[in-house]
Structure 1
């Protein structure tokens, strides 16, 4: 059976799968590969760094003629960032983490599909009021940044689906195989936004050591915390914590975040350790479903494989 949903119809996709626009690692090659595979590739430009976009956008344009989009960390951008992105004619702009209202009208004026990610019901209501074309409901199982006081994917997604209807909702957080996609569809979502699983693909912009860590990682080894943002001097707002694999600075400073924030020597020590190669330049962002990731496929093949596995899971469930 074909997994046709309101989301696939909106973009003319073969599969109800979107690439999470993971800052820095969801580059042009990965975005294009996901779109070629029948999903929606979303370029992870984070704060909209012009040099990064100048390098990665041509890779999307040359790599696919299918629909693709760009995602931003809303707290880190200004209207000029959105304007520059729209010049490249993406089919969608996704805004996450922060107040999207200063940017939504400009996206709409450009005739571009507006995707808003939400981490709680207050954000979901705002997304509906702002006229989002697609809403992503992110549960706390997700890798990377998310709400400090959010909800798990399983109970959160159907709440957003009911609240937002008829706006299509994508489930995000803890989805790394086709069974997770099938579960999202069963919850009423129109598809899934998938991140960590696409970190371990041939096209992802990640160091081989990160891929190895993800393939070897276990869900119980992930942790959501602010320690690593504080240690590395990140400007991420305190309401968003990050789920990562284990890290020695987590062990050293867990439960002492305020002390770390007030200790410039400790933050400098982190930078010194990075410079010496004793800790990686970035944490390994990973969601709770990391155990399910055991190989390094091409992203286009992965999209097709996830969809086929979801179809099989739904068929099997229908027989019981």
Structure 2
């Protein structure tokens, strides 16, 4: 495969990367090997540190640090961390810290002091205004097509991204949600974004920290079978705030409890049954987080090759659009 041209956007210039592609810091599944591969491939690899578990970081950070000389970063679930979590992670000297879902204001100063770039993910205009006020270096505008968690009452990527681009200028904005091939990246750039944050597509790669059954489900999955819900968070005893739902592929518990979240939350026996079903492998170990672009995913390539392929596809799409 020929190497795609190097794209120049505010995002690529800020980080000195070849392509305007960032790995979504998917909790647990975006580990050190995957982040390193994305950075090696010319994008920005972001570790999915979730709640900042020290043992997880101690295991995964050396993998990214030894796996690439290129810039990389760490992403957290803002609602699940404290300042100490971020300060410990900053000791590893990431080039960027991405904060998603919750009030990022307590963490801005430590990130600034460490000299890391501050990336804030937003799911509505109020969050976007706050991100600008807090001085974000990069803002990620996440549409509801995204796999995994997002705003219960969010906006679709196509109308949301240009709104945030206009609101945040000159701060670079990355598009997120439903982007699973180079045409999606090209569309993001056409909307005025400086690049894209891509999640589900990178779960189906050789380096992703996912059970093989998850990658298989993503390759075989269909976008119309994805659904935003809280059922699976409640069933597995997760403490996600209720304003965030998660887009997943179908699941037996979703069929059983859809629309009965309050009842499930009060039913301790049902939640124990979920744990028992996981233990005996009657249901997957984790829900299959997947975005609406999942139909476009048909293989499980090495992540570095995927970065270049996405850039090639984006270049071809932009060239086609310029001829039409």
Smaller-chain TM-score bracket: over 0.9
User: Considering only aligned residues, what root-mean-square deviation do their CA atoms show, in Å?
Assistant: 0.6
Work out whether 1:102 is the aligned partner of 2:106.
yes
| Residue 231 of structure 2, aligned match among 227, 234, 256 | 227
Q: TM-score, normalised by structure 1?
A: 0.99
Work out whether 1:131 is the aligned partner of 2:135.
yes
- The residue aligned with 1:177 is 181
- The residue aligned with 1:187 is 191
- The residue aligned with 1:308 is 312
| Residue 33 of structure 1, aligned match among 13, 31, 37 | 37
Once the two structures are TM-superposed, the CA of residue 281 in structure 1 deviates from its matched residue by: 1.6
| Residue 289 of structure 2, aligned match among 281, 285, 300 | 285
| Residue 264 of structure 1, aligned match among 248, 252, 268 | 268
Work out whether 1:79 is the aligned partner of 2:83.
yes
| Distance across 2 between alignment mates of 1:275 and 1:44 | 25
CA contact (8 A) 1:2 1:311 kept: no
Once the two structures are TM-superposed, the CA of residue 261 in structure 1 deviates from its matched residue by: 0.7
Q: TM-score, normalised by structure 2?
A: 0.98
My pick for the range that moved more, 273-282 or 14-23, is: 273-282
Once the two structures are TM-superposed, the CA of residue 262 in structure 1 deviates from its matched residue by: 1.0
Deviations 1:118-162 (A, max 9, x none): 000000000000000000000000000000000000000000000
| Residue 150 of structure 1, aligned match among 147, 154, 157 | 154
| Distance across 1 between alignment mates of 2:211 and 2:14 | 34
Work out whether 1:64 is the aligned partner of 2:71.
no
CA contact (8 A) 1:28 1:43 kept: yes
SS in 2 for 1:311: helix
SS in 1 for 2:50: coil
- The residue aligned with 2:25 is 21
Count matched residues: 320
Gaps of 5+ in 2: none
| Distance across 1 between alignment mates of 2:214 and 2:288 | 6
| Residue 121 of structure 1, aligned match among 119, 125, 129 | 125
- The residue aligned with 2:46 is 42
| Residue 303 of structure 2, aligned match among 273, 296, 299 | 299
- The residue aligned with 2:167 is 163
SS in 2 for 1:203: coil
| Distance across 1 between alignment mates of 2:6 and 2:284 | 42
| Distance across 2 between alignment mates of 1:206 and 1:54 | 19
Gaps of 5+ in 1: none
Poorly superposed stretches of 4+, deviation over 6 Å: none
| Distance across 1 between alignment mates of 2:211 and 2:108 | 34
- The residue aligned with 2:321 is 317
| Distance across 2 between alignment mates of 1:46 and 1:24 | 7
Once the two structures are TM-superposed, the CA of residue 41 in structure 1 deviates from its matched residue by: 0.2
Once the two structures are TM-superposed, the CA of residue 280 in structure 1 deviates from its matched residue by: 1.3
- The residue aligned with 1:250 is 254
Once the two structures are TM-superposed, the CA of residue 59 in structure 1 deviates from its matched residue by: 0.2
SS in 2 for 1:45: strand
